[in-house]
Amino acid sequence: MENLFLKYMRERTGKKKSSEEQASNQGPVITISREFGCPGKRIARLLSETITEKNRRLGHDVEWKWISKEIIEESARQLKLSPTLIQDLSSYRTRGFFDHLTQFFSDEFYPSDVKVKNTIASFIYTAAVEGNVVIVGRAAESITKNFARALHVKLLAPIEWRAKQVAESYGMTIADAKKEA
């Protein structure tokens, strides 16, 4: 049940609805997170094509798209940096003292990890609000967790299978691929 006092105060002050109420009008969106070696992009492409085709057969002209590397490319464009640098700055590892020290004394400007991650999150959020999109990776499930019309999928597979996929994709031995996967 809605809190009547908060509703009254919002109406009285002209404030917008809460994020939970706004979330019900967003999407639909499907997010795919995965273990390294699972084919997230291939599944996203097939899923978006299948849903689009099914919509057309039902007489709806709604095209689903999927995004993955576009998230990094668009964020790089907005921050005026290379996609490779954005990929590195947005990695979810903790930076050590020497990483920060090197960055501090560098002649080049690099935006903070927070700015990079906020730019990525903003791109994902905007795409999800527009709806009819499958988003691969980049913590999209966390960004869209309050969306009422969201489906979150996590791809898991045995290490042997993932190592084989990684070895084939990157041309490495199974032993090296197991370390990566």
* pLDDT tens readout for residues 91-114: 655 556 666 556 555 555 566 677
This prediction has a pTM of 0.73
The percent of residues in the chain predicted with pLDDT above 70, rounded, is 72
| Burial 134-164, CB ≥16 within 10 A → b, else e | bbbbbbbbebbeebeebebbeeebeeeebbb
pLDDT at position 73 is 85
Of the candidates 134, 103, 138, the one whose C-alpha atom is nearest the C-alpha of residue 119 is: 138
Structure tokens, 52: 């689009």
Which residues are within 8 A (CB) of 139 and not within 5 positions of it... i.e. 6 or more apart? 33, 92, 121, 124
The percent of residues in the chain predicted with pLDDT above 90, rounded, is 50
Residue 10, burial from CB neighbour count under 10 angstroms (0-12, 13-18, 19+)? middle
**CATH number attached to the domain at 23-180:** 3.40.50.300
pLDDT at position 87 is 76
pLDDT at position 130 is 94
Q: Distances in Å between the alpha carbon of 173 and those of 40, 68, 180?
A: 22, 26, 11
Is 90 exceeded by the pLDDT of residue 14?
no
Q: What is the pLDDT of residues 114-139, one digit of tens each?
A: 788 888 899 999 999 999 999 998 88
Top-confidence residue, 86 or 52? 52
Where do the domains of the chain lie?
A: 23-180
How many whole angstroms separate alpha carbon 127 and alpha carbon 81? 21
Of the candidates 131, 140, 175, 137, the one whose C-alpha atom is nearest the C-alpha of residue 155 is: 137
Half-sphere exposure at residue 69, Cβ-oriented, CA atoms within 13 angstroms:
6
pLDDT at position 9 is 59
Confidence of residue 1 (pLDDT cuts 50, 70, 90): very low
Q: How many CB atoms lie within 10 A of CB 167?
A: 19
Residue range 69-88: average pLDDT? 81
How many whole angstroms separate alpha carbon 101 and alpha carbon 98? 5
